[in-house]
Amino acid sequence: MKAIRDPEGILANALAGFPERFELPVTFPPEVLKEAGQAAARQPDASSHADRLDVPFVTLDPASSTDLDQAFHVEVAGDDIRLHYAIADVGWFVQPGSALDEEAWKRGMTVYMPGSRIGLYPPVLSENAASLLPDGPRPCVLFRVLVSQDGEARIEGVERARIRSRAKLAYETASENDLPDGAVELARRIEAAEKARGASRVDPPEQEMQALGEGRYALTFRPRRRVEDINACFSMATNMAVARLFLDHR
């Protein structure tokens, strides 16, 4: 940990001035908030999303996160391992050409700053109705991916679905034992295939800044835990399977 003293408030003022300096919108227009509230009241049903509520999904993110956009389940399928990988279906809530849609295009992405963030969508969507929280059914785009013994990932199916997360796991406290059966082996296969391809990976430690009061700050480096690497392998497997699907249908 590194301590930073800022008795004259230079750092504090610089952090507070980020949004204005980089022209970042810190609030949403009233019409966008209205549309977001209306969208959040929508409920997916069988006409729009397949019922996959029986699959025991979990999420894995920093403990403080509430905008959960990925969930997963893993199971052994013969010599393969099947990954159910769910991405929050925000697009289902947002009507093309609406004020909500146009605002998201203007913002482009969620911007993370020390101690705060500026969201792409209003919290009623990003941290509630569209977030894959373990408090009820949520819509998602669901990828089913098969990973072979040699680490080859291929798409088994893609659909819009309703799922229910069973647990909100946290990087800080979760261990390999908390993950579904087959998760560790899936990661081993993906990493072995990555090494065989000669791929390189650089994962610098994440920096976190904490305000301690009285003009003092603490800068710490959060060590990367094994469960984060496993989680990254889920994303890698899905991305590679989708890329292969696109290449096969050129």
**Domain definitions of the chain by residue range:** 45-89+137-198+205-248
- Using alpha carbons, list the distances in angstroms from residue 59 to 134, 141, 165: 9, 15, 7
Residue whose C-alpha is closest to residue 152's, from 199, 201, 195, 193: 193
Residue whose C-alpha is closest to residue 151's, from 191, 101, 207, 197: 191
* CA dist., res. 24 & res. 106, Å (int): 10
Mean pLDDT by 10 residues, the chain (250 residues): 77 86 93 98 93 98 94 98 98 97 96 87 97 95 99 98 98 96 98 93 82 83 91 98 94
The amino acid present at 132, given as its one-letter code, is L
Residue 1: the pLDDT is: 62
Write down the residue that tokens 């204005």 correspond to.
Answer: 20
What's the predicted TM-score (pTM) here? 0.91
Residue 136: the pLDDT is: 86
E strands, the chain, are 2-5, 50-51, 57-61, 70-77, 80-88, 111-113, 116-118, 138-147, 153-163, 165-170, 206-213, 216-222
Residue 29: the pLDDT is: 98
* CA dist., res. 215 & res. 5, Å (int): 6
Instruction: Give Cβ neighbours of residue 243 (< 8 Å, ≥ 6 apart).
Output: none
- Asked if 180 contacts 82 with a C-beta cutoff of 8 angstroms, the reply is no
Residue 38: the pLDDT is: 98
Residue 211: the pLDDT is: 81
* CA dist., res. 22 & res. 150, Å (int): 46
Residue 132: the pLDDT is: 98
* CA dist., res. 190 & res. 197, Å (int): 11
